A and B are shown apart, each in its own frame.
Chain A
C-alpha cells in the first residue's frame, strides 16, 4: 500500500490506532474465552465442584462486560478515524483541483476527477474500515482460537485446523464461480439499461419513426440474454449457504463423534488419555470453536476485494495529489488593462500538431476586436492564451507593454470579464449565481446587471423570481444560461470584455439588445468578441479572420468585403 498516503493521512493517529489494537485484543480474549470457560463450568458441575463453578460464572460475566465495552470502543474508534482520514483527503483533493494549472486539469476527464472525491473516497473509507475491523480482528481471532484449542486438546485441534478451511475454500470457490456470472449479468444489465435510457429519452423520435416495435423487440432479445445469465448467476450464488452448511455439518459430525469416542476411551485407555484428555465440557467448547473458527477466514477473504479496490483508489489519489501546483512566477500587478500585443506567439496542445504559429497582432486601447473563422481555427485557444490558462510555447504576449509572465495571474485575470460559449451554472439561486462575479454587490446592483443582460423578463416569469434555485442540469435553456453568464460580467464591469460565442444560443432579437448593453458598458474600453453570426460583429474596429491557426485576413468589415476573400464568401452566403 502507498506508504506516503499512510504516513500523511493514517499514521498521524498513532495513539488511536494503538488504542484500537488494545481494544481488539481485549474483545477477542473475552469473546473467545467464553466457550472455554463454559466447557470448564460443565466439567466442574459434573465433578460437583460448586465453588469453582461460581467463580467461573463471575469471570464469565465480567469478561462479557469487558467484551461489550471493548467491542464498541474499537468499532467506534475505527469508524471515527476512517472518517477523519476521509475528511482530510477530500479537502486536500478539492484544494488541488484549483491549485494545479488548467492545462494539467484538462489531462484528466471530468469523470476521473469526480471519481476521486466520490467513488475512490468510498473505496478508501470501506477499505480502511475493513482493514481495521475484519483484518485486524480476523488475524487475532484465528491466533487466539488456535492457541485455546491446542491447549484443550491438541489432537482434535489439529482436526479442526485442517478441516475448517474446507468451508472457507468452498465458499470462496462458489463465490468466485458465481462472481464471473454476476459480472456478465451486470454487463448485460448495463447494456439493457442503455437501450431503455436511449429509447426513453428519445421517445419522440422513436414514435415519429414508428420504431417502437423494433425497439421493444431489441429490448426483449437483450432481456432474454440477460435472463439466461441471471439464472445461472443466481443459481451459482445460491450454492454458498447450503454448501457451507453441509461442510460445517460434516465437520461438526466428525469432530463431535471423534470427541465422544475420546471421552469414552479416555477413562479406560491409557494411550488415548495420554494423548489428549477429553470431557463433555471440553467437547462442548470444542464444538463452539469449530463453528466459530471459519468466520474470521471468511471475513478476511471477503475483504480482499475491498482492499484491492482501496489500493487502486489510493494510488489514483496520490498520483493526483502529487501533481505539481501551478507556478505563478509573476509578481507585478496590472490595472486598467487596455492594450495587448501578441508578438510571434506559437502554441499547440499536442506537440505533434501545430495549431497557432507565429501569431502577431496589436490590440490597442479602446478597440473593438472580432475574431471569426471556421471551427478548429484556434479562436478559443487565443482566449486560453490571453487569460494565461495556457502559456505560449514561444513568443510573448504583452499586456499594457508588460510581459505577461511577469504579471501575477490573479491580477491579470481580474482585468478580464469573460463569457464563454460553454456556460457555467452552479447550484444556487439566480441571485447567487450572478453575484458570483462580485461577492459584495448589493441585490440592487445584481438585479441591474440582470436587466442589462435582458434576463429580467425570463426571471419575472418564474414563481420565485431571482430566488429560484437553478443548477447545471435542470430546465434552463442554453440561451438562458448564457444570459446568466453575461449578467455576471455586466456586474463585474471589467476593464476588458472577452466574449467567446457568448450569445450563440440567444435568439437574434434578444442578442441584439444584449449587444447594445455591452456596447454601452464597453464604451472606450477594449473588447474581444468571437462570433459565428456575422451580423453581430460588422461594426468591429478590427476583424481577425482565423483559419488553421493563422490570421488570413485582417481589417474592418468594409475593407474585408472589398478584398472579396474568405470573409466575403462567408458573409455573402447568408443572402443566397
Chain B
C-alpha cells in the first residue's frame, strides 16, 4: 500500500473539483473586458466602430437587452454593471462547491493515510521502528500526513484555476493590445525567477536560523538543567560568555536572512512599477492624434487589471510549487514507512499447544542474537531449559544481555541463530497472539499510559471486572495506596505516570500483568524501586497466589533472585555460571563478589 493508491481512491473528486473552478476563472477574466465595453459604449455611437472586435461582441450582448431606462448610455452602464455583479455571484457559488470538495477530499485523504500509517506502525517490531526512529514516525503521522493533505487541498483549489487565469490574462491582454501583451509575456518569467530565487534563498536562510534557534534552545536548556551545578562550580561568568557566542551566531544568521527577505517587496515593487510604466508608455503614446484615443484609454484600464491578476497568480503559483514540493517529500517519507515489511508477524496457520507441569516450557539451544547482521552478538550461544512451574532467576550487570534475552521470550525479537522452542515447538510456529497472552512481562521502566489506573489495568485484560482489578492490586501491594484515593481505581494517570512514585508505578504494572491468567510471567528488574520489605511482600503474595505459574526474574539485586530454583549469571551475553543461590555462592567468585557488594559481610552472620 502506497500513498498513491489512496490518492487514486479519490480520483473523481480530484478531477471534478478543479474543473468547477473553470467558470469562476473565466468570469474573473471577463470582468475587465465588460468594464471596457461599457466605457466604449459611452464613447461610440455605433458598435461596429469599436476598434476592438472582442469588446464589440460584449457590447452587442449588453445592447441585446432592451434598455432599462430611457437614457441609452445609462441603461448600458446599468445592464453591464448588473452582468459584472451576476458573474461575480455565480462564480462565487460554483467556486464554493469546488472549495467544499477540496476541503472534504483533502481531509479524507489525510485521515486515511494517517490511519494506514498508524496501523502499519503497530505491526512493526521495536527494532524495525527504531531503524526509522520513533520521533521520525511521529513526525510522519502528524506532520507529513498534514503536508500531503495540504497538497491535495491546493491541488483541487488551484491546479486548474491558477494556470487558466495566467494564460487567459495573457491571451486577453494580447487581444486588447499586442505590444502590452508582449510586455506581460516578458514580465512573467522575470517575476517567476525573482520570486523563486528569493523564496529559495529565504527558505534556506530560515532553515539555518532554525538550526541556530535549536542551538540557543539546547544551550539554554542545558544551562537551566545544570543551574545547581553551575552555581556549585561557580561558572556564572563563563556560562554567560559562552552563551554570547551562541547568541552572536544566531544574530549573524538572522541578519543574513533580514538582508534577503528585505529584498522581496522592493523587487516586486520594482517589477510592478516597470510594467506599469511600460503599459502607460506603449499604451499611451499611440493615443496622441488618434480618433480612437478613448478606446485605447479604456484598454489601458483593462490591461492594468490583467496585470494585477497576473501578479497575483504568479505569487500563488510559486506558493503552489512550494506546497507541492513539501507534499512530495512528505509522501516519500510516508511511503518509506509503509514499505517496511514487518518481520515478526502472527502466522494464522500457526498452532497452539497445552503442556503439563514439569514439561519443558522454554528450551534455548545455542541461541544467539545480533542487533545488526555483522555486529557483535548481544547474546551468544546460550543454552538452557525452563520447565513449567519453575522459578528462574537471571542476574547480571549493565550490558550483560538481560534485556535482549527477555525480548526473545515473547518474540519482541526473533533469534539470529540457534534454536528456541516454546512448549516443544519452534517459537515461530506458535500463534503469536496466544504466545503473548501466555507470557506476561513486567518491565523495569514501569511505563503507565495516560488515563486512569483502571484504563491502565484494562491493557492487561480488557474485560477484567473491578473486583479482579482490586484483587490484582492487592497482590502487587498497590491497593494499599490506591484505596486511599477518593476515586480509587479511577484515579488519574498523567504524564506517563509521573504523578506516581517509581515504586508505585512498578506495583501498578505488576498488577497489570497479573490480570490475565498467564503461563509464565517475567519480572524485568520490576521491583528495583521497591524497598526490600515491600518487595518481599509482593514476592510472597505472588508465590502464594500463582503457585503453578512459571516465574522468570531478571534483576541486578541478589535479594530478588536468591530464592529461585535456578539462577543464571549473565556476563557479556553469555551464561557464566548457573545453580541455586547456595551453589553459586560456593561455585562462582563473581556471584559471591556481587553478593558481598550488596549485602555487607556482617549481614551473613545475622
Contacts and interface: CB of A to CB of B under 8 A. Distances in A.
B228 A234 contact: no
A345 interface: no
Nearest to B150: A234
Pairs of residues from A and B, 8 with the lowest C-beta to C-beta distance, nearest first: A79-B258, A257-B81, A64-B273, A234-B103, A249-B88, A235-B103, A238-B99, A426-B222
Given A48-B289, A197-B138, A254-B81, A575 B106 contact: no
B138 A71 contact: no
A324 to B, nearest CB: 16
Contact of A257 (B80, B114, B223, B262): B80
B273 A68 contact: yes
A413 B234 contact: yes
Given A46-B293, A91-B244, A245-B92, 8 more contacts: A41-B280, A53-B284, A64-B277, A200-B138, A227-B111, A235-B100, A253-B81, A264-B74
Given A45-B287, A76-B259, A80-B258, A102 B92 contact: no
A38 B397 contact: no
Contact of A437 (B92, B231, B233, B447): B233
A41 B298 contact: no
Contacts of A196: 118, 121, 137-138, 141-142
B118 A219 contact: yes
B321 to A, nearest CB: 18
A508 interface: yes
Contacts of A215: 122
Interface string B64-89: 00000000011001101100110111
B478 interface: no
Contacts of A252: 31, 35, 84
Nearest to B223: A97
B600 A261 contact: no
B138 A231 contact: no
Residue with the greatest number of chain B CB neighbours at <10 A, chosen from A68, A208, A253, A510: A208
Contact of A114 (B73, B126, B221, B296): B221
A257 B82 CA distance: 9
A335 to B, nearest CB: 14
A79 B261 contact: yes
Nearest to A418: B232
Nearest to B435: A210
Contact of B84 (A212, A249, A284, A471): A249
A505 to B, nearest CB: 9
Given A97-B223, A508-B598, A574-B603, A231 B297 contact: no
Nearest to A411: B234
A113 B219 CA distance: 13
B320 interface: no
Given A114-B220, A189-B142, A230-B110, A50 B447 contact: no
B531 interface: yes
Contact of B304 (A204, A245, A284, A576): A284
9 contacts: A53-B284, A79-B262, A99-B236, A227-B111, A250-B85, A280-B294, A427-B218, A512-B597, A572-B606
B186 interface: no
Interface string B211-232: 0010011111111111111111
A216 to B, nearest CB: 6
Contacts of B73: 261, 264
Nearest to B111: A227
A574 B443 contact: no
A72 interface: yes
Given A91-B243, A204-B407, A193 B138 contact: yes
Contact of B99 (A86, A98, A235, A574): A235
Given A72-B266, A94-B220, A250-B85, A231 B104 contact: yes
B281 interface: yes
Contact of B440 (A201, A208, A535): A208
A283 interface: yes
A12 interface: no
A284 B266 contact: no
Given A216-B119, A257-B38, A75 B265 contact: yes
Nearest to B73: A264
A394 interface: no
Contacts of A206: 122, 459
Contacts of A410: 234
A562 interface: no
Interface of A: 31, 34, 38, 41-42, 45-46, 48, 50, 53, 57, 60-61, 64, 67-69, 71-72, 75-76, 79-80, 82-83, 86-87, 90-91, 94-95, 97-99, 102, 105, 110, 113-114, 117-118, 122, 189, 192-194, 196-212, 214-216, 219-220, 223-224, 226-227, 230-231, 234-235, 238-239, 242-243, 245-246, 249-250, 252-254, 256-257, 260-261, 263-264, 280-281, 283-284, 287-288, 291, 374-375, 387, 389, 409-410, 413-414, 416, 418, 420, 424, 426-427, 436-437, 439, 471-472, 477, 479, 492, 507-512, 533-535, 538, 570-576
B254 A83 contact: yes
A285 B285 CA distance: 18
Nearest to B302: A284
A205 B35 CA distance: 70
A122 B219 CA distance: 17
Contacts of A512: 597
B598 A45 contact: no
Contact of A75 (B111, B213, B262): B262
Contacts of B501: 375
Residue with the greatest number of chain A CB neighbours at <10 A, chosen from B121, B229, B599: B229
B95 interface: yes
Contacts of A41: 280, 284
Nearest to A207: B412
Contact of A105 (B125, B227, B265): B227
Nearest to B265: A71
B239 interface: yes
B109 to A, nearest CB: 10
Interface residues of B, number: 152
Interface of B is mostly: helix
Interface in B380-414: 397-398, 407, 410, 412
A200 B144 CA distance: 17
A280 B269 contact: no
Contacts of A79: 255, 257-259, 261-262
Contact of B262 (A72, A253, A260): A72
Contacts of A189: 142
B284 A45 contact: yes
B318 interface: no
B593 interface: yes
B228 A198 contact: no
A223 B255 contact: no
A400 B437 CA distance: 64
A576 B560 CA distance: 10
Given A80-B258, A200-B121, A219-B115, A42 B231 contact: no
A234 B108 CA distance: 12
Nearest to B532: A573
B322 interface: no
Contacts of A231: 103-104, 107
B153 interface: yes
Contacts of A102: 227-228, 231
B270 interface: yes
A205 B87 CA distance: 61
Nearest to B447: A202
Contacts of A234: 102-103, 106-107, 153
Contacts of A426: 222-223, 226
Contacts of A283: 39, 301
A235 B276 contact: no
A509 B597 contact: yes
A574 B88 contact: no
Contacts of B459: 205-206, 209, 211, 214
Residue with the greatest number of chain B CB neighbours at <10 A, chosen from A67, A216, A234, A533: A234
Interface in B98-154: 99-100, 102-104, 106-108, 110-111, 114-115, 118-119, 121-126, 129, 134, 137-138, 141-142, 153
